[in-house]
């Protein structure tokens, strides 16, 4: 499980993704190339679009246990413009984690990320994040 944001440029298939605009197609391409590079039948790659934090955008209300509602509302306004949480992009200032830190500067990924994800629940995350859901389905069908 790797985040698309800040993948090294020598990552398998990375040079091809600049030509691909659809984030799902980018991730699928990278996963396919990564799988070829590892060349192990039991390896099931996952490239998170665009970072783990994007999964947390499945339910911004969960942030309100840790951050002021007004602050979360500002983040919500920004996130609502995207088709899905997985479409929140990966620019140096617009990656999911950067958006959270913009409004919630005390956000700590190891602490808040895991607790917020638990609060949201896997079902809601899977419903909002189809790429993540598809990866979990592969694991479940082993």
Q: What are the tens digits of pLDDT across the range 73-118?
A: 999 999 999 999 999 987 888 999 999 999 999 999 899 999 999 9
Q: Which of 73, 81, 125 is nearest to 104 (CA)?
A: 73
Question: What is the pTM assigned to this prediction?
Answer: 0.91
pLDDT surpasses 90 at 141: yes
Residue 142 corresponds to which tokens in the numbers above? 């082993």
Taking the CA of residue 33 as centre, how many other CA atoms within 13 Å lie in the half-sphere pointing to its CB?
A: 15
């Amino acid at each position: 499980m790797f985040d698309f944001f800040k993948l090294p440029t020598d990552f398998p298939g990375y040079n091809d993704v600049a030509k691909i605009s659809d984030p799902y197609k980018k991730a699928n391409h990278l996963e396919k190339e990564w799988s070829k590079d590892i060349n192990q039948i039991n390896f099931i790659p996952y490239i998170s679009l665009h970072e783990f934090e994007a999964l947390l955008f499945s339910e911004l209300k969960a942030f309100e246990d840790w951050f002021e509602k007004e602050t979360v509302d500002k983040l919500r306004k920004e996130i609502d413009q995207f088709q899905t949480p997985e479409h929140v992009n990966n620019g140096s200032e617009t990656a999911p984690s950067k958006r959270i830190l913009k409004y919630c500067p005390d956000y700590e990924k190891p602490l808040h990320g895991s607790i917020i994800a638990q609060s949201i629940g896997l079902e809601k995350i899977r419903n909002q994040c189809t790429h993540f859901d598809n990866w979990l389905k592969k694991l479940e069908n082993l």
